[in-house]
Structure 1
Amino acid sequence: MARSSSPVSGVAERYALSLFELARDEGQIDTVESELNQFARAIDEDADFRRFVESPLFSADEQVRAISAIVDASHPSALTGNFLKVVAANRRLFALPGMIRGFRHLAAAHRGEVEAEVTSAHPLNDEQRRQLVETLGAYAKKTVTVRENVDPAILGGLVVQIGSRQIDTSIRTKLNSLKFALKEAR
């Protein structure tokens, strides 16, 4: 993973790496990744849960009790459940989204995959998705998994983030470049 000067990303990277190493040693990478993805969806989709995770106002006891109740109700593997409880006990829930992202990256690298984040103005159809995965796979020389986002503000084209490289072919960027060029021509 790339190093960052942000203390949150540093905490997230260390926790993600520790969890990944434990999951690898126990042969549970896929299980843990799947369970973490469920928690990521809950954070994304449930505003109350997101506030709970992000808020520094809850004590360690409150965080541990709440996470323990969630773990008891959702029945993840012992490794994932214990990890979440340790994160709560150490008052690091605010970094949980970054930990999940970090674990995903480590798991993908372990499988020989690279993740590409693709933003388009409209949802991609199956044929476009297939062609994109094929093209990005040839570029990266690895198996590519695509995470899609839709942002109508880009107007058309794609913005692709793969590793540390960004390829922006959006109409919005092209229009902004044209606008800048026309200003310079005056």
Structure 2
Amino acid sequence: MTSTQEKQIRAPGELAQRYGRAFCAYLQSTHGGAHERNHVLKSVRALQEALAADPKLRTFLDNPRLTGQSPQKVASMLAEGLGLGNDLRRLIGVVAREGRLPILGEILEAILLEEARDRGEVTVEVRTARRLTDHQRDQLRHRLKEAGHHHISMTEHVDPALIGGMTVRVGPVLFDTSIAGRLTRLQHAMKGAA
């Protein structure tokens, strides 16, 4: 399954990955069927999109005063407001109780990455200074398949700050061949030599 999208994805940190793995294990133990899990994952994507689209919602979740409120109250408000099911309500409640609401977006991304990994799919994030041509995209997919990645979900981002070249994140591994990356490495090397 390959999709090309123009959206910002922040790679989840270790803590978010632990929550993601735990939630996926919970889904597998409680929702044996793929259809049921897919329904929950659809809600995960909907919540992720709501967080990405609504700066007020992100500001609300980043508010340190939320930790004083009942986690169940916060979870209920979010779940009811966005029409989410009980599984996500429980997840949000746990995240709120632990004071981790500011990384909820990362946790959702970790859940989706973990599910993709379980399906044998690798997520590839490509950043380029200019939009990839079809030929370049095909070459990149071919190289990834040569490296053993056969089920690829690719997202593309145009980032003029790279100047030229590209960065490719395959799962947690980042390959940086951008001019901006080379200049940064050169700058660090020169500081170390001084």
Question: What TM-score, normalized by structure 2, do the two folds share?
Answer: 0.72
Runs of 5+ unmatched residues, structure 2: 1-11, 190-194
Q: What is the rounded CA distance, in whole Å, between the counterparts of 1:127 and 1:97 in structure 2?
A: 33
2:144 to 109, 128, 136: 136
Higher relative contact order (CA closer than 8 Å, sequence separation 6+):
2
Post-superposition CA distance 1:47-78 (Å, at most 9, x none): 11111222212244365434423312332333
* Partner residue in 2 for 1:21: 25
Equivalent pairs counted in the alignment come to 175
Whether 1:154 and 2:158 are equivalent positions in the alignment is no
Structure 1 residue matching 2:65: 3-state secondary structure: coil
Percent identity over paired residues: 28
Counterpart of 1:12, as a letter, is A
Alpha-carbon shift at residue 29 of structure 1 (Å): 3.4
Runs of 5+ unmatched residues, structure 1: 1-7, 182-186
Question: What TM-score, normalized by structure 1, do the two folds share?
Answer: 0.75
1:88 to 92, 96, 114: 96
Structure 1 residue matching 2:123: 3-state secondary structure: strand
Counterpart of 1:71, as a letter, is A
Alpha-carbon shift at residue 167 of structure 1 (Å): 2.1
* Partner residue in 2 for 1:49: 57
Indicate if the aligned counterparts of 2:123 and 2:170 stay in contact, CA closer than 8 A. yes
Alpha-carbon shift at residue 159 of structure 1 (Å): 0.8
Indicate if the aligned counterparts of 1:61 and 1:89 stay in contact, CA closer than 8 A. no
Q: What is the rounded CA distance, in whole Å, between the counterparts of 1:140 and 1:113 in structure 2?
A: 11
Counterpart of 2:27, as a letter, is A
Whether 1:78 and 2:86 are equivalent positions in the alignment is yes
* Greater Cα offset, 104-113 or 41-50: 41-50
> How big is the alpha-carbon RMSD for the aligned residues of Structure 1 and Structure 2?
3.1
* Greater Cα offset, 94-103 or 81-90: 81-90
Whether 1:97 and 2:105 are equivalent positions in the alignment is yes
